[in-house]
Structure 1
Amino acid sequence: MGPMTDPVLPRLILDGGLGTRLADRGNDISGSLWSAQILRDNPDEVTAAHRDFFDAGADVATTCSYEVTTDGLLAAGVAASEADDLADSLLRQSVRLAVAAAEQCGTDALIAASVGPYGAGPGRGTEYDGDYGLTTAQLAAWHRRRVDILADTEADVLLAETVPSIREVEALAGELDRAGTPALLSVTVKPGSDGVLSDGTDVREVAAIASSSSAIRAVGVNCGSVGDVLAGARRLAEHTDLPLIAYPNSGERWDHAHRVWVPRQNDGGPGLLESVPDFLEAGVRLLGGCCRVTPREIAAVRDRALAY
């Protein structure tokens, strides 16, 4: 498992927004399956998008599995008799494509198998508020099959990301521990909250769960503005000795109903590149970008981090 088993996690540069990179390459991700549609219909484009980030200097590839769920496929019109098998196949394919891209680029980068939140499946875009109405046990059961499939691939680590709910954090930690594969956990925080989970829970509760997990190697925040992600990382650092993860988005908000990106009011803080020293000083060891962060920006972040 490489660096994921090292006592001290090395500094790694994550990739950027894979789905939005696919869009920048001319692919239509506006449908309900988002990037999973391209995974299904044009897998060569997924490999090419991974290569773009590797060429920019990314040390980690996040697989195109975030939106791959049986429920999502059913909602997109896949027959009930085929949905489970298709979901399993696409999950495995997402890892194979990332591995192939790394081989083509001659890099020994880590492959992080993305485990998206319930909100990205039947939750209808609720990954930013965690308003699921489900118990921890129900969420664990919903995640179980996907975690098991991805744990049985060539992925180096499972990445449970964009998690908005403390119940989902509990559910995922339990499933990741049960699977026994090294894992990373990244949550979303409320804008302007100074480190409060999207469902209103203080992230110190996330830190406690992650710290007691046998599988989770690092914990962090993603898919928020630079200022919000940095505030969340700093809050986590107060309550855990685990290495931290941070990968903010461009600062825009995803409008799930209209399937468009909506500008947010600037939080008045510096951008991702200018904030690299702040992230590193906060204890972030896995640093990159989320939605709408491009390979060019990842290359700049890498240069800044190496120079720090």
Structure 2
Amino acid sequence: MALVDAYAPPGHAFSNVADLVRNSGGCAVIDGGFAVQLEHHGAQVKTPLWTALCLITSPELVTQVHRDYLEAGAQVVLTSSYQATLPGFESQGYTREQGREFLRRSVELAVQVRDDFWNDYQERLKKGEVPPGQYSRALVGASIGSYGAYLADGSEYSGDYGPEMTLEKLKEFHRERLLILAGAGPDLIALETIPSYVEAQALVEILEEEDLKIPAWLSYISKDGKNVVRGDSIKSCAELVERSSKVVAFGINCTPPSLCGELICAARKVTSKPIVVYPNRGEDWDAEKKEWIPSTGATDEDFVNYIEVWRKAGANLIGGCCQTTPATVRAIAGALHPHEHLGSCAH
């Protein structure tokens, strides 16, 4: 796509995201919900650490979830670090150094399973057991959730952190975790479920101050299709991404799928960078019970029906967030790349 090529020419330090989009016919596949799939495999995640607990208690389940999504056709897999923070680990009795190790582990697990899966596929390809082009070598994105995710009280869905929260305090909270994850070897940084302009600004300033050479996308959450949940306009939030030399893509995640088309259109008016969209199923989060409230959320078929709308609006990477599953991602992959006939790469 011209807009992607113009932004990140071959050889550019940030070209891996652009290359993925270009090599995928203009639209690549992101993975889906992590917690719901961990629970499917028997994990208990209703704790302040949420999916990050499994980095400590059951890393083999984290590995399995990554593989589930790779088999479903994901071309980007995000680490189990969304709610993994140094103060969060310390609040549960772990040392700061243990917390650093857990953060690094989230990336190492994802990179290892991605490499194993890709090598598996290459070996089977040589034997003629699978068709060429069935899979591409996925990118690993280190997930960094908002400050509200650390609070584990649902405040990422409002962005209301209280009057004492400032830009500098947000930078202090995010900085070390961001540097640890970036240093662990992911292909990109996924700054996700960001509820406000000020928190996005804090993250962008860290990227610039630390002069990180790893690409980042910055993904916001909305409830009305016009603004992020704290009330800042999507236009201003997209402009922040467009101005940053360190952020390679604008994103929308954990937002009802019915709102995403309008948000993509608004963002595309002000940014030429790739647009990432990975909605939830349109359900509401009960912070007290730590569960999604059953509703008439979008089905996998609904997701497929939305995909062409999102593509026409300007989306370049599409996946799922909370309550979406490998079945959702397989449906997305099938809609985006119907001739690749994705199947299992497991022995």
Question: Counterparts in 2 of 1:158-197, with a 5 A limit?
Answer: 158-179=189-210, 180=212, 181-190=214-223, 193-197=224-228
Q: Which residue of 1 aligns with 2:140?
A: 111
- Say if 2:153 is the partner of 1:120: no
Q: Which residue of 1 aligns with 2:161?
A: 132
Report the CA distance shift for 1:90/1:171 in structure 2 as closer, same or farther (over 3 A): same
1:8 and 1:68 map into 2 onto residues whose CA distance is 28
CA contact (8 A) 1:2 1:156 kept: no
Map Cα deviations across residues 6-38 of structure 1 (whole Å, 9 max, x no partner). Answer: 497552100000121101111111111110111
2:263 and 2:40 map into 1 onto residues whose CA distance is 29
Q: Which residue of 2 aligns with 1:73?
A: 89
Map Cα deviations across residues 246-267 of structure 1 (whole Å, 9 max, x no partner). Answer: 0011111121111121135669
1:266 and 1:121 map into 2 onto residues whose CA distance is 26
CA contact (8 A) 1:39 1:46 kept: yes
* TM-score (normalised: structure 2): 0.82
1:115 and 1:219 map into 2 onto residues whose CA distance is 15
CA contact (8 A) 2:159 2:196 kept: yes
CA contact (8 A) 1:18 1:49 kept: yes
Question: Match for 2:106: what amino acid?
Answer: S
2:319 and 2:225 map into 1 onto residues whose CA distance is 20
2:198 and 2:80 map into 1 onto residues whose CA distance is 24
Report the CA distance shift for 1:5/1:287 in structure 2 as closer, same or farther (over 3 A): closer
Equivalent of 1:220 in 227, 241, 251: 251
CA contact (8 A) 1:164 1:189 kept: yes
1:26 aligns to what SS in structure 2? coil
1:66 and 1:194 map into 2 onto residues whose CA distance is 23
- Say if 2:314 is the partner of 1:302: no
Question: Match for 1:4: what amino acid?
Answer: V
Equivalent of 1:99 in 101, 111, 116: 111
2:337 and 2:39 map into 1 onto residues whose CA distance is 29
Q: Percent identity of the aligned residues?
A: 33
2:159 and 2:28 map into 1 onto residues whose CA distance is 29
- Say if 2:140 is the partner of 1:145: no
Q: Which residue of 2 aligns with 1:4?
A: 17
Equivalent of 1:39 in 55, 65, 68: 55
- Say if 2:101 is the partner of 1:89: yes
Question: Counterparts in 2 of 1:194-205, with a 5 A limit?
Answer: 194-205=225-236
Count of matched residue positions in the alignment of Structure 1 and Structure 2:
300
Question: Match for 1:78: what amino acid?
Answer: G
2:227 and 2:333 map into 1 onto residues whose CA distance is 28
2:178 aligns to what SS in structure 1? helix
1:140 and 1:274 map into 2 onto residues whose CA distance is 39
* TM-score (normalised: structure 1): 0.92
2:251 aligns to what SS in structure 1? strand
Report the CA distance shift for 1:205/1:123 in structure 2 as closer, same or farther (over 3 A): farther
Equivalent of 1:276 in 296, 307, 311: 307
Q: Which blocks of at least 5 consecutive residues in structure 2 are unaligned? A: 1-13, 119-135, 340-347
2:222 aligns to what SS in structure 1? coil
The Cα shift of 1:118 comes to 0.2
1:178 and 1:306 map into 2 onto residues whose CA distance is 39
Map Cα deviations across residues 94-130 of structure 1 (whole Å, 9 max, x no partner). Answer: 0011011112211621000001100011363211110
The Cα shift of 1:212 comes to 0.8
Question: Match for 2:86: what amino acid?
Answer: T
Equivalent of 1:48 in 27, 44, 64: 64
Report the CA distance shift for 1:248/1:8 in structure 2 as closer, same or farther (over 3 A): closer
Whose radius of gyration is greater, 1 or 2? 2
2:152 and 2:37 map into 1 onto residues whose CA distance is 24
CA contact (8 A) 2:88 2:150 kept: yes
1:199 and 1:39 map into 2 onto residues whose CA distance is 31
Higher relative contact order, chain-length normalized (CA < 8 Å, sep 6+): 2
Map Cα deviations across residues 197-240 of structure 1 (whole Å, 9 max, x no partner). Answer: 10011011111110111111111110011012332222211221
Deviates more, 1:18-27 or 1:286-295: 18-27
Question: Match for 1:246: what amino acid?
Answer: V
1:184 aligns to what SS in structure 2? strand
CA contact (8 A) 2:145 2:193 kept: yes
